[in-house]
């Protein structure tokens, strides 16, 4: 029994370590691609000195941040101040353990995958609140309050979108949701939900045009203004890890996961999910380069006055449609009322 447990733990550890290294390398090159794309949008070169075509720029920046002195403000709560970036980085990694990259290619295949993702994404609020409060800075605290209100507001609309996908697929398991899209991707019947989820993902990850918690004009740098060296690097890695995670979730829920485009099944299945993640991540970059920042009242109005009524109405519409045409998944049981 002990040997089986040791073998199981060793397999899980090796898979987790491989996923961690792959994710860190992907984040490093994603940052480089973003800086290159923004340079092209703004008609400048971008990083081009360190390594061939600037390919080693992200590794040089990470090495520089590790070597710099980690300064802790004298008036801060030092324990919480140091734990916050670690907590942020760990949360950004936790969502990847349920992400299916192919048939059987998932670290932990649980039946409540959507609920797990929603719970993990909700934990990000706590790390940002911890960072803003423990810094004992008015700029950091205002940025943390903004981020908490923003993330909570847009998580409601994201929850309604997830319920809609759950009704159509009949399962909370991400692998089963992908299999349910074998004939048609959910982006076609649920196009409004896809758009709402994509915009909510921008707000959830504090990206343009919803980067109000990090607004340089009035908050210097927001909740991470007091962080330097490795603490800032962990926040940075956590933010970009969350962006890639959101792209992976959107690809799984709406773009068919590892299923190919019709007529292109000759391309291996393991190619498709990374390609869809890269495609969505490019839109994250492009939006940052072309859209201005919203005012904070506009941000909250979109969340509460537009997205929540829209997703709630579409949820009712999809539910009524499925019931009317007797298309509810098999797990649903509606008793006859006589």
Distance (Å, rounded) from C-alpha 85 to C-alpha 236? 9
Label residue 334 by pLDDT band (50, 70, 90).
very low
| Shared-domain flag, residues 130 and 270 | yes
Is residue 167 domain-shared with residue 255, that is, in the same domain? Answer: yes
Do 60 and 104 fall into the same domain? Answer: no
Q: How much is the average pLDDT of 225-241? A: 85
Same domain assignment for residues 218 and 301: yes
Tens of pLDDT along 283-333?
Answer: 999 998 888 888 888 888 888 999 999 999 999 998 888 888 777 665 544
The answer to whether residue 6 sits within a structural domain is: no
Q: Residue 48 falls within a domain, yes or no?
A: yes
Range of the domain at 160: 74-324
- 32 Cβ contact list (under 8 Å, min separation 6): 47, 54, 55, 57, 58
Q: Are 45 and 159 contained in the same domain?
A: no
Q: In this structure, are 117 and 50 located in the same domain?
A: no
Q: Are residues 26 and 138 in the same domain?
A: no
Could you tell me the pTM of the whole model? 0.88
Same domain, 191 and 62: no
pLDDT in tens, 268-280: 777 888 889 999 9
Q: Are both 58 and 179 inside the same structural domain? A: no
Asked whether residue 330 is domain-assigned, the answer is no
Indicate if 179 and 120 belong to the same structural domain: yes
* 180 and 294 housed in the same domain: yes
Phi, psi of 126 (to 5 degrees): -65, -40
* Measured distance CA(25)–CA(22) in Å, rounded: 5
- Do 178 and 186 form a contact (C-beta atoms < 8 A)? no
């Amino acid at each position: 029994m002990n040997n089986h447990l040791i073998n199981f733990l060793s397999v899980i550890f090796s898979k987790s370590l491989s996923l961690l290294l792959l994710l860190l390398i992907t984040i490093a090159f994603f940052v480089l691609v973003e800086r290159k794309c923004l340079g092209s949008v703004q008609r400048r070169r971008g990083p081009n000195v360190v390594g061939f075509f600037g390919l080693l720029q992200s590794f040089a920046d990470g090495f520089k941040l590790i070597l710099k002195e980690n300064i802790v403000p004298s008036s801060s709560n030092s324990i919480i101040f140091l734990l916050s970036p670690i907590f942020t980085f760990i949360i950004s990694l936790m969502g990847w353990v349920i992400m299916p990259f192919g048939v059987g290619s998932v670290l932990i295949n649980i039946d409540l995958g959507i609920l797990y993702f929603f719970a993990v994404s909700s934990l990000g609020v706590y790390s940002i609140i911890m960072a803003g409060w423990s810094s004992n800075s008015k700029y950091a605290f205002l940025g943390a309050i903004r981020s908490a209100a923003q993330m909570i507001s847009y998580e409601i609309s994201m929850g309604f979108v997830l319920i809609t996908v759950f009704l159509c697929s009949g399962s909370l398991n991400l692998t089963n949701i992908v299999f349910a899209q074998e004939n048609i991707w959910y982006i076609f019947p649920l196009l409004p939900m896809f758009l709402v989820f994509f915009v909510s993902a921008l707000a959830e990850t504090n990206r343009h045009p919803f980067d109000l918690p990090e607004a340089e004009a009035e908050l210097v740098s927001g909740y991470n203004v007091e962080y330097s060296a490795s603490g800032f690097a962990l926040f940075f890695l956590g933010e970009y890890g969350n962006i890639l995670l959101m792209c992976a979730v959107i690809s799984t829920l709406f773009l068919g996961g590892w299923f190919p485009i019709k007529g292109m099944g000759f391309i291996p299945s393991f190619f498709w999910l990374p390609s869809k993640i890269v495609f969505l991540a490019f839109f994250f970059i492009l939006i940052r380069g072309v859209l201005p920042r919203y005012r904070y009242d506009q941000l909250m109005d979109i969340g509460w006055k537009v997205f929540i009524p829209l997703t709630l109405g579409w949820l009712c519409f999809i539910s009524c449609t499925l019931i009317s045409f007797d298309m509810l998944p098999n797990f649903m049981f509606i008793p006859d009322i006589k």
